[in-house]
Structure 1
Amino acid sequence: MSAMSKIIPELSKLEPLDGNNYKRWSQKLLVFFEQLKVDYVLFNDPPKPVVPTDVETTPTAATVVKTTDDAIKKFEKDNKTARCHLLNHMTNILFDLFAPNKSAKVIWDSLESKYRLDDAGKKKYVVGKWLQFIMEDGKPIVINEEMKLCVVFLANVLLEKFPPSRSDYRKVLKHKKKDMSLQELIGHMRIEEANRLNKSSC
């Protein structure tokens, strides 16, 4: 089995772009395009045809025209290949949205503009929520945001959000010699919360 025939079945397993999986989706397709040697159409405008003047009738001029024509034909073929794979690995809604575009570069740039900015905006939103979060007595602790930040940093941010009624408990945790991860801190907090509920029910 050839290397290319191995790649295509692997690409067939790629989940279609639905708007939430853009980063991994785009990276896998880009690797595929690099192996096909068509990735250049995503980042370059098509070559422009050369129109020779009446004076340019030398063999050199004819060679330039021929070379340019070949480059244009190759670009058109590679653009169709890249565009086909981009569209065929989208959900129906996104396919309908991007299908009118004949340029793989226009589709790629549009996706980058939309989903890269959305991803950056989500990260800023999550950071803002973390910094503004205030822990209160009787308020349930809900931590369900997924974001690749230093887990020790997140744990210490959360530790600083303890309400005044838990200042003694916070001091105990802060004086631990070993750094705690976010999950370890949440585990400690749940145990403490359970102990407080048991004491109040007695």
Structure 2
Amino acid sequence: MAEDSSSKKFLVNNFNNYKMVDSRPVMEQYNELVRILGQYTQHGLKMDESISVSSIIDKLPPSWKDFKHTLKHGKDDLSLVQLGSHLRIEESLRAQDSDKGKGKEVCWTFCEHDRRG
């Protein structure tokens, strides 16, 4: 019984203290949090889905500040699945923007080189 109690405390601490970072993909971190929440069920713990979603939004990394604000002030309550979809889309868009930025740099350097020569 004491072992189960400490396992539950460990799980709750894992979720509560989890901090997302900019140096890792957000979806990878989201999936870790969802896995922890799945372990809640295995240990008989329950957390309201809206609280889970809100907590995960709060954990988004610093560079996601504007997106976090958008999610927090949306009209509808999101499910974990819907949140995952929003995060996946946003991460994909950010990756595309990042690639375009690199492309512009290369093009600018290349185009600049062409103008000189």
- TM-score, normalization by structure 1: 0.40
Matched, 1:123 2:8: yes
Is contact 2:57–2:68 with CA below 8 Å preserved after alignment? Answer: yes
**Cross-structure match for 1:195:** 93
Deviations 1:177-200 (A, max 9, x none): 111122321221121111111111
Structure 1 position 139, deviation (Å): 1.3
1:168 to 63, 66, 75: 66
- 1:1-202 matches, cutoff 5 A: 116-140=1-25, 141=29, 142-143=32-33, 144-145=35-36, 146=38, 147=40, 148-202=46-100
Deviations 1:17-62 (A, max 9, x none): xxxxxxxxxxxxxxxxxxxxxxxxxxxxxxxxxxxxxxxxxxxxxx
Structure 1 stretches (4+) deviating beyond 4 angstroms?
Answer: none
Structure 1 position 118, deviation (Å): 2.8
Instruction: Report 1 or 2 for greater relative contact order, CA contacts < 8 Å, sequence distance ≥ 6.
Output: 2
Q: How many residues align?
A: 87
Q: Which runs of 5+ in 2 are unaligned?
A: 41-45, 101-117
Amino acid across the alignment from 2:24: K
Amino acid across the alignment from 2:82: E
Considering fraction of residues, name the structure with more helix: 2
Q: Which runs of 5+ in 1 are unaligned?
A: 1-115
Identity of aligned residues (%): 32
- TM-score, normalization by structure 2: 0.65
Partner SS, residue 78 of structure 2? coil
Amino acid across the alignment from 2:95: L
Q: CA RMSD in A?
A: 1.6
Alpha-carbon distance between aligned partners in 1 of 2:87 and 2:22, rounded to the nearest angstrom: 12
Structure 1 position 201, deviation (Å): 1.4
Is contact 2:22–2:62 with CA below 8 Å preserved after alignment? Answer: no
Amino acid across the alignment from 1:166: W
Alpha-carbon distance between aligned partners in 1 of 2:67 and 2:15, rounded to the nearest angstrom: 21
